[in-house]
Amino acid sequence: MIVCETREELKSRIFNWKKENQTIGFAPTMGYLHAGHISLFETSKSKADKTVVSIFVNPTQFNDPEDYLKYPLDLDGDLKKCEEAGVDLVFLPKKETIYPDGNPDFVMFQSGLQKNLCGRTRPNHFEGVMLVVSKLFHLVNPDFAFFGRKDYQQFRIIEEMVRILDFPIQIVGVPTLREKDGLAMSSRNVRLTEKERENANLIPRMFTLAEKLFKNGEKNPKVFHEILADFLLSSSSVKIDYIETVDPHTLQEKLTLDGEVLLAVAVFFGKTRLIDNELLRNFDSENIF
């Protein structure tokens, strides 16, 4: 496995592979890798000849400086996991490599897709994600790029950015991997105390309740949200950032819950904010996942 830190080395490795007509799959990450990331790499290996992973904790996407400073790191463990997963190249840029002039005075913004969900409660987050992902796309020049559907809004925003800006890259959304009790895998889970970790399975249990409500024909988003919020707030350590029901394509609020509905939540357990989502569907609607 090749590990490189500079743009020059990365570009020359990619250039050589392209010259041999090898296709490149790319999974951008911020490290602290878990099984969810490994499934991105495996999906890449099944689609592309070479798999490239980047590990870079991107400062421009954190609206809370404390969150950035507390982001968990485990470089040795990450490299071992990449090697075991059969990754071909890991790109490990320094902050100065990605942002040689400091944070650029440049903003990417998609008013529709960023209006709701994390776009509402994490100002500047997706601007930073689009910026770093575009830069990485230019440096890696992949044929495919892989994003987890746990961060569904990020996946849709990148998909749309690639379409609008004509990046010649196929974006692939990879299903969420879950722990035994249903909690979505996330690098943030390690920050939970034992008690918070126990309580965190309120999220998958809330999805089970939501499915029942939806199947029983509850169409009023306000009533739906209130029932789900009451369920989550049965634990005193929970603070709800949002519970929203949106159209899975446009991410606009659903005024009535029918057809396909993306139920998305962001919940604090103590100081740790977790996000998750689930697609609710009537039997007659097509499966977009």
Quick one: which segment of 6-14, 129-137, 226-234, 271-279 binds ligand PAF (CB under 6 A)? Answer: 129-137
Quick one: which segment of 25-33, 66-74, 220-228, 268-276 binds ligand PAF (CB under 6 A)? Answer: 25-33
Q: Using CA atoms, how far apart are residues 74 and 66, in angstroms rounded to an integer?
A: 18
- Choosing from 28, 119, 221, 248, the residue that interacts with ligand PAF (CB under 6 A) is 28
Does 43 bind ligand PAF (CB under 6 A)? Our answer is no
CA–CA distance from 252 to each of 61, 113, 128, 134, 247 (Å)? 22, 8, 21, 24, 5
CA–CA distance from 194 to each of 44, 55, 218, 243, 273 (Å)? 34, 28, 35, 24, 15
For the four alpha carbons of 37, 39, 43 and 44, in that order, the dihedral sign comes to: positive
Site string for ligand PAF, 136-165 (x = CB under 6 A): ---------------x--x-----------
| In the complex, minimum distance from the CB of residue 124 to ligand PAF, in angstroms, rounded to a whole number | 13
Amino acid type, 195: K
How distant is the alpha carbon of residue 158 from its chain centre?
10
- Choosing from 13, 14, 25, 29, the residue that interacts with ligand PAF (CB under 6 A) is 29
Quick one: which segment of 14-22, 128-136, 174-182, 247-255 binds ligand PAF (CB under 6 A)? Answer: 128-136
Q: Token pair of 84, please?
A: 């075991």
| In the complex, minimum distance from the CB of residue 103 to ligand PAF, in angstroms, rounded to a whole number | 14
Does 61 bind ligand PAF (CB under 6 A)? Our answer is yes
- Choosing from 10, 14, 24, 30, the residue that interacts with ligand PAF (CB under 6 A) is 30
User: Annotated catalytic, 37?
Assistant: yes
* Order of strands across the sheet that contains 272-281: 238-246, 260-269, 272-281
| In the complex, minimum distance from the CB of residue 214 to ligand PAF, in angstroms, rounded to a whole number | 28
Q: Token pair of 223, please?
A: 């009533």
- Residues of this chain that interact with ligand PAF (CB under 6 A) are 28-30, 58, 61, 129, 132-133, 151, 154
